[in-house]
C-alpha cells in the first residue's frame, strides 16, 4: 500500500517540479501547452463576455488561484491521497458488523419427536381449570440480532503503510501549498509587468503631447520670425521620434497578451457545412468583438 501511495503522486510531483517561469520565459515557450505544464492551463469558471475586465491585484490573484489547472489537479490529488490513507486506517481498525432479522415460524412438534401423549402430559402442568391444550403445530415470532467484532492484533506491514500514508498526505499538502504560492507569484509578476508596460505607454503618450506642443510653438515662432526654420525641423524630428517610442511601448504591451487562433474546418463538399461554418463564424465574431479585432489585425 505504501508503494502505491508513493507511485500515485510521482506524476503530480514531476509536473509541480518545473516552475511556471521555466516555460513562460523559455525560448519557444509559445508552443508549450497545459498538457506539458498544467500551470499554463485553467478551468473556465465563467462565460467569456468579450469585454475587458478591470481587476485589482488581489482580484487577479484570486482568479488565478481559483481557476488554475495545476491547483485543481493538486487538490484532486490531495483528496485521492487522503482517501487512500483512510483505506489503510480501515485495514487497521476493528471491523464491526450487525445482523438482525425477525420472522414468524411454524414448528411441527410431532416431527421433532414429541408424541401426543407427551403433549397431553404438558397440558396437565397448567394452572387448575385452565384446560390447556397444546397443538402439535405451533407458531412462534422469532427476532434474532447478532453483533460481530473482529480485529487483527498486530500487522507490521499495516503500521508501515499507515506511517507512509501520513507522510504522503503531509507531502501532498506541502506540494499543494507550494503550487498555490507559485501561481500567486506568477500572477503577481504578470500583473505588475502589464501595469509597468501600461505606465510606459502613458508616459510615452505624455511625452508625445509635450513634443507636439513644442512643435506647434516652434512653428508659431518661425511664422513670427523669431526663430529659424531649423528649430521647426528639430521639433518635428523629436515629435516623430516620440511617435515611434509610443508605437514601441504599445507593441510591448500587446506582446504580453496571449494570441488567439480561430480555426474553422469545413467539409470539401460545398453542399454540406461550408455555409453553416461561415454563418457560425459570423455569429461567434459578432458575439466576441475582441476576437474580430484580433482577426482583422492579422489579415
The answer on pLDDT for 46 being more than 90 is no
Residue 239 · residue 211 · CB < 8 Å: yes
pLDDT at 35: 64
Give me the residue spans of the domains in the chain. Answer: 2-47+54-92+154-197, 95-150, 259-299
Compute the radius of gyration of the chain from its Cα atoms: 41
Q: Residues of the chain with pLDDT > 90: what percent? A: 12
Q: Is the pLDDT of residue 200 over 50?
A: yes
| Mean pLDDT along residues 61-71 | 85
- Predicted TM-score of the model (pTM): 0.50
The answer on pLDDT for 237 being more than 90 is yes
Mean pLDDT over residues 30-45, rounded? 66
Task: Tell me the β-bridge partners of 145.
Answer: 100
Of 2-16, 155-169, 220-234, the range with the lowest mean pLDDT is 2-16
Amino acid at each position: 500500500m505504501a508503494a502505491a501511495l508513493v507511485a500515485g503522486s510521482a506524476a503530480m510531483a514531476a509536473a509541480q517540479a518545473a516552475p511556471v517561469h521555466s516555460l513562460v520565459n523559455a525560448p519557444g515557450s509559445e508552443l508549450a501547452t497545459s498538457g506539458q505544464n498544467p500551470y499554463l492551463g485553467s478551468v473556465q469558471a465563467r462565460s467569456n463576455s468579450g469585454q475587458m475586465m478591470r481587476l485589482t491585484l488581489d482580484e487577479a490573484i484570486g482568479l488565478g488561484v481559483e481557476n488554475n489547472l495545476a491547483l485543481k489537479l493538486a487538490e484532486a490529488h490531495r483528496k485521492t491521497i487522503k482517501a487512500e490513507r483512510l483505506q489503510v486506517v480501515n485495514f487497521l481498525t476493528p471491523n464491526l458488523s450487525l445482523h438482525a432479522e425477525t420472522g414468524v415460524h411454524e414448528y411441527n412438534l410431532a416431527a421433532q419427536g414429541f408424541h401426543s401423549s407427551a403433549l397431553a402430559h404438558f397440558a396437565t402442568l397448567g394452572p387448575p381449570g385452565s384446560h390447556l391444550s397444546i397443538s402439535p403445530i405451533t407458531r412462534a415470532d422469532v427476532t434474532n440480532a447478532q453483533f460481530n467484532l473482529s480485529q487483527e492484533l498486530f500487522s507490521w506491514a499495516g503500521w508501515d503503510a499507515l506511517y507512509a500514508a501520513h507522510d504522503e498526505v503531509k507531502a501532498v499538502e506541502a506540494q499543494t501549498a507550494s503550487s498555490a504560492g507559485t501561481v500567486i507569484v506568477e500572477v503577481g509578476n504578470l500583473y505588475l509587468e502589464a501595469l509597468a508596460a501600461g505606465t510606459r505607454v502613458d508616459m510615452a503618450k505624455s511625452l508625445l503631447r509635450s513634443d507636439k506642443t513644442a512643435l506647434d510653438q516652434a512653428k508659431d515662432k518661425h511664422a513670427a520670425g523669431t526663430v529659424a526654420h531649423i528649430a521647426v525641423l528639430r521639433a518635428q524630428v523629436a515629435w516623430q521620434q516620440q511617435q515611434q517610442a509610443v508605437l514601441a511601448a504599445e507593441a510591448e504591451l500587446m506582446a504580453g497578451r496571449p494570441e488567439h487562433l480561430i480555426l474553422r474546418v469545413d467539409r470539401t463538399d460545398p453542399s454540406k457545412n461550408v455555409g453553416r461554418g461561415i454563418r457560425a463564424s459570423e455569429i461567434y465574431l459578432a458575439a466576441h468583438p475582441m476576437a474580430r479585432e484580433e482577426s482583422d489585425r492579422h489579415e
